[in-house]
Amino acid sequence: MAVKKFVVGNFDDETVLFPAVKKVRRAGYKIHDVFTPFPIHGLDKAMGLRDTSLHTAGFIYGISGTATAVGFITWALTVDWQLNFGGKPFFSLPAWIPVTFELTVLFAAVGMVLTFCYLCQLAPFVKKDHFNPRSTDDTFVMALECTDKTNETEAMSFLETIGAKEVKVEYKETEWWIGRYDKDKKLFHKETKNNH
C-alpha cells in the first residue's frame, strides 16, 4: 500500500487521446494507466503494454479439463466400476469425447474468467480509484505517475498542450494487488539510489 502522486489529464475525445499517449511516452513520462469509457482498438499498442498471457492460462486450463475428464472417466469405467454398454469395450474413447470436450470448455471458460477478474482486480467489494468517475461515461483519463524527478508543473502544462481539457495533481493509493507495477517500482528505487 503506497500513496503515490499522479498528474491526471482528462481528455474528451479519443482522437486527441491517441496522439497524446504517443507524445507523452516520447517525452519520457511514465503512464500509470489510461481509463476510457469503451475499449479503444490499438490503445494497448500505443501505450506499449505487453500482450496478455490470459490465453496461455486458458490453454493450460483447457488441457487440465481434458486431462480431468479423460482421466476420471477412464478410471471410473475401466478400473473402478466396469459397465457393459451395448457390448462396447470398457475403454471406448469416442463415447467420452463429448464429455471431454465439455469439461475442456468449462475449465477453460471458468478459469479464464477468474484469471481475468484477478488480473483486472475485479471482485465484489473491491474498490479501485479511476481518478475521475466520468471515465465510465464520456471522459478519457490519463494518469502519469510522478517520480521524484518529475516536475509536476511541467508535466501539467505538457498535458495541456497536447489537448487535455482538465489537468490536476492527485495523491492516490495504489493497492498491493497492482502486481504489474511492482517490477517498475523496484527499478525506480534502484535509479534513485544511483542518483543520490
Partner 1 sequence: MSIRENFVVPKRYNTIAFALMAIGILAIIGLYVTSGSKDDPKEQARFWASLLQNSVFFLLVVNASMFFICATTLAWGGWQMAFRRVPEAISAVVPVIGVICGAILLAIAFGDNHTIYHWTDTHHVAEDPILSHKKGFLNKGFFAAATVLTIVLWSVLGWKMRKLSRSLDAKPLATVEERKKYIWNNTVWAAVYIIVFSLTVMSSIPWLWLMSIDAHWYSTMYSWYTFASSFVSGMALIALFVVFLKNNGYLEYANNEHLHDIGKFMFAFSVFWTYLWFSQFMLIWYANIPEETIYFQPRAHGIYKGIFWLMFIINFIAPLLILMTRDAKRNYGTITFMALLIIFGHWLDFYQMVFPAVSPQKVPMILYDFGVALGFVGLIMFVTGRALSKAPLLAKNHPFVKESLIHHT
Q: Which stretch binds partner 1 (CB under 8 A): 26-34, 95-103, 126-134, 148-156?
A: 95-103
Residues paired with 81 in a beta bridge? none
As measured in angstroms, the least distance from the Cβ of 101 to partner 1 is 9
Angle between helices 152-161 and 14-26 (to 10 degrees): 140
What CA–CA distances, in Å, run from 167 to 3, 17, 160, 176?
Answer: 19, 14, 7, 26
Residue 75 near partner 1 by CB under 8 A: no
**Residue whose CB is less far from partner 1, 119 or 169:** 119
As measured in angstroms, the least distance from the Cβ of 34 to partner 1 is 17
Q: Which stretch binds partner 1 (CB under 8 A): 87-95, 135-143, 147-155, 184-192?
A: 87-95
Name residues contacting partner 1, limited to 16-55 (CB under 8 A). 41-42, 51, 55
As measured in angstroms, the least distance from the Cβ of 94 to partner 1 is 5
As measured in angstroms, the least distance from the Cβ of 33 to partner 1 is 21
**Which stretch of DSSP H or E encloses residue 111?**
helix 93-119
**End-to-end Cα separation, the chain, in angstroms:** 25
Q: Which stretch binds partner 1 (CB under 8 A): 11-19, 92-100, 129-137, 173-181?
A: 92-100
d(CA 162, CA 145): 17
Contact 177, 2 (CB under 8 A): no
